[in-house]
Structure 1
Amino acid sequence: MTLENRIALVTGGARGLGLSIALAYARAGAQTIICDINEENLNAAREEITAAGKHECVARICDVSSSAQVADLFACIKARFGRLDVLVNNAGIGPIGPEDDARRNRHWDYMTTPMPRQALGFTSSMSDEQWHRYWGVNVHGVFYCTREALRIMEPRRSGKIINIASIAGMSTISAHSPHYSATKGAVITFTRTVAAEVAGGNIYVNAIAPGGIQTPDFEKYFVRSSEEQKNRLMQLIPLGRFGKMEEYASLAVYLASDNHYLVGQVISPNGGAV
């Protein structure tokens, strides 16, 4: 499968799933652009992606929660390349801190151990700041980038947009993080709505809603977790393992190609969890 002569932007492309997708695009022949907020990670990713493909990777600092920074990024892309063929809205924040670990472990213990039913208190203890921070990146960022991409794609009547949602937006498996789940549910609905709006302009909008991904952040969680906690998590996944980043990246390559008839779809590789 080839992405030769495609111009592709992957937001949050300096690490984790975003980097894996950018590498897969470079290997498929695309001119790859990445943005992120960490300059050190960005520089290392640029070198790795350049080495993997035929083109020099373009890397820029951009906080997608800032409308102005996003507009500047896309203006630079248009000035340099004249077009954008693929946008992957991958940039986001997730529940990966110590407090998130505590909520996650409590929830998964509750789901896998016989015990009296009770309210778990996750939503009632959440602060305004926590709620708004997730929406700023995970939802507003997707909107800002999609809006700018469509301003380039619509006149050309061509484009692919792939939004990275989550199993959390379509199930209760992440009830320990209602702020994260709500934002990913919003991304799913936004995907379907925009897809129906722009399909007539030959622009394909779809979403990938990952289940467990074996990212560096989750590897750190596993290191911090006991063997029993890890086993409880795997009890929730019929396949018994997390997905590899390469397995998700190959799907992103497929959705960026011309080899499908998918519009407004939410594809969820999750090992059978949903």
Structure 2
Amino acid sequence: MNSVEGRVCVVTGSSRGLGRAIAAALGASGGRLALCDVLTDELEQTAADLRAAGHEVYAAPCDVSDSAEVDAFFACVEAALGPVEVLVNNAALVPGGPQDEARRNRHYAYLTSPEPRTSLGFTSAMSDAEWLKYWGVNVHGVFFCTRAALRQMEPRGFGRIVNIASIAGLSGLSAHSPHYSATKGAVIAFTRSVAAEVAGANILVNAIAPGGVATPMFDDYLARLDPEARGRLFQMIPAGRLGTMDEYADLVVYLSGDGHYLAGQVISPNGGMF
């Protein structure tokens, strides 16, 4: 019932990490894959690997923060594979630079150490540019792709849209990244609004709000931490570990299929953090 056999499945930000894992899971469930990313070389390698695994793949570069590029990509997908039936809005900017890591480490120490309470000073020190760049990909990109997909789904009376949000949009556990948290909160609100709008056309829109995901990027971050800092991080996760990419990808496949009655839901696999 939850197979996506034969369905055209768009996955944005699919060149690596969770996006790649989602694409592989949808392909393994019979989906016909349409992949996009701004990381052209990695996208080409991912597409080649998935074709070698026996999956049908159309892949093209696309900056989801550019509405013209998004519309052109969806038109090419329809021409190459047919109308889009599943959309996974995975593309996002994620805080991972040195300044982001310094804020994250400071916040985790603050949460898990008996030190005096004070303001951590993250928001007051943030620049306009740092704030604004996250909205182009994380929010505008989700809107542009959803709009393009609905234009193909609505006339046919079928669709599944899965937005990858974050626990950052639900809780204060990502206070180290107020820009990222704000955009993911916007994705959650947008999910609920659009879901209520289109459910009557058999288009089900839901969001997944992951806690920690064991991506190569996050593994690299953990490797840079000293043992005490790693211990502070895992102390905040009752399950004692991060979620695997396959665990999240399997949930995307479920939400992309027919065997559920979910619309406008925000599901947060997070190991008990929130």
**TM tier, smaller:** over 0.9
| SS at 1:95 equivalent | coil
Kept after mapping to 2: 8 A contact 1:29/1:53:
no
**Counterpart residue number, 1:263:** 263
Kindly report structure 1 stretches of 4+ aligned residues shifted beyond 3 Å: none
Number of paired residues? 273
1:60-99 mapped onto 2 (5 Å cutoff): 60-99=60-99
The alignment's TM-score, normalised by the length of structure 1, stands at 0.98
Inter-CA distance 10–205: structure 2 relative to 1 (3 Å threshold): same
| SS at 2:5 equivalent | coil
Q: Deviations over 1:145-164 (max 9, x none)?
A: 00000000000010000000
Q: Deviations over 1:217-257 (max 9, x none)?
A: 10110111111111000011000000000000000000001
**Counterpart residue number, 1:2:** 3
Gapped regions of structure 1 (runs ≥ 5): none
| SS at 1:192 equivalent | helix
Kept after mapping to 2: 8 A contact 1:94/1:180:
yes
* Sequence identity (%): 59
**Counterpart residue number, 1:25:** 26
| SS at 1:124 equivalent | coil
1:1-274 mapped onto 2 (5 Å cutoff): 1-55=2-56, 57-274=57-274
Task: Report the alpha carbon displacement of residue 48 of structure 1 after superposing the two structures with TM.
Answer: 1.5
- For 2:217 and 2:100, locate their aligned partners in 1 and report how far apart those are by CA, in whole Å: 12
- For 1:31 and 1:44, locate their aligned partners in 2 and report how far apart those are by CA, in whole Å: 17
Gapped regions of structure 2 (runs ≥ 5): none
Judge which range, 72-81 or 141-150, deviates more: 72-81
- For 1:173 and 1:99, locate their aligned partners in 2 and report how far apart those are by CA, in whole Å: 18
- For 1:52 and 1:269, locate their aligned partners in 2 and report how far apart those are by CA, in whole Å: 28
Q: Deviations over 1:80-116 (max 9, x none)?
A: 2331110000000111111111000000100000111
| SS at 2:162 equivalent | strand
Kept after mapping to 2: 8 A contact 1:91/1:138:
yes
- For 1:146 and 1:37, locate their aligned partners in 2 and report how far apart those are by CA, in whole Å: 18
Q: Which amino acid aligns with 1:42?
A: L
The alignment's TM-score, normalised by the length of structure 2, stands at 0.98
Kept after mapping to 1: 8 A contact 2:154/2:201:
yes
